[in-house]
Structure 1
């Protein structure tokens, strides 16, 4: 099976061949700005406690993060169903899960409303839960949320992505993609946060850490 990194790079290179230069410049500038602001964010690190919070499933049922810790927990935060890099990541997780003798305790989390998360689950035939953080409250506790500047907002609108329609927030905001592993005591054991949204944690590497905790 090809690595997720390979799939992401192939898509990125294909997109960059045809995308307008001004859009590529805006996307690159936004990544650089986020990287410069990295030290301003308070994201939980290895050996620190995971913030608790409430997520919701596609039927509106509330799910406490701490209630999911009967086993070690993998949490992957993604931007939304409109993001092809996010979809490649979720597809890679699904492919890996199919090869495992035991289903890992994995959730994917976004701020999108149920109509969009249901579509993500259906289109990618995901066997793991896609949970909703409707007001980005949990993602803010993880230090992942940023407000989209006007230049990036205009790019998203050109793509037909109106974040105020896809989430419960009134302003354009996004989470930085991230992956965490939390043990049964609620302690963070693995962190991957990357402002460059085209780079993600490799599922096989994450699963190796997860399996070492069992």
Structure 2
């Protein structure tokens, strides 16, 4: 029993160390452009969205199976009028399948755009993607969640739950990036940075 506990602690430390090495985009960086369809089939072209809005709140979440992600999305939805009143357009990005996004929407009542980043291109461009360590992926599987299957893939890629606010000029003006998947920026913090 003691050996299992030591191995588990070592695994957590190793996984945390891998995430520590990641560096997000910085305030003042040019936001990478993208163009993909959202959950409603609407083409979301970042350049076009910025032309019609003062800013974009772009956040990355792990999947409908993540209670911390769902809570954050619900908070964003509950305060969506606060954000949109300041000219913000909210976009969620996840590696999960369209079916998973539908479950997210059912759980959170999200009415903003959510994009399935199936090839991880947006996650990579914003420097939030990471590959789960095999031991961690196996622990998730034993707990009933196959992340690769949830993403419709054969690999185990997730985003750090990060949030970027992008201004009208396409520059990043706010970054929230925390390796601890339990942490998200509050709506009041986002509102203060719009």
Same fold (TM over 0.5): yes
Partner in structure 2 of residue 149 of structure 1: 133
Q: CA RMSD in A?
A: 2.4
Counterpart in 2 of 1:68? Answer: 49
Deviation at 1:154, TM superposition (A): 1.1
Q: Is the CA contact (8 Å cut-off) linking 2:39 and 2:113 kept in structure 1?
A: no
TM-score by length of 1: 0.78
Per-residue Cα deviation, 1:54-99 (whole angstroms, up to 9, x for no partner): 3322255542222221211001110111111111111111222256
TM-score, normalising length from structure 2?
0.86
SS at match of 2:39: coil
Check conservation: 1:30, 1:152, Cα contact below 8 A: no
CA distance in 1, matches of 2:7, 2:140: 10
Gaps of 5+ in 1: 1-19
Question: What is the CA–CA distance in structure 1 between the aligned matches of 2:57 and 2:142, rounded to whole Å?
Answer: 34
Q: Quote the offset at 1:204 in angstroms.
A: 1.1
The match for 2:80 is: 97
Distance 1:118 1:135, change over 3 A: same
The answer to whether the 8 Å contact 2:83/2:191 transfers is no
Deviations 1:92-118 (A, max 9, x none): 112222566837411111011111101
Offset, 1:48: 1.0
Find 2:184's aligned residue among 200, 208, 212: 200
Aligned positions, number: 188
| In 2, Cα distance between equivalents of 1:192 and 1:100 | 16
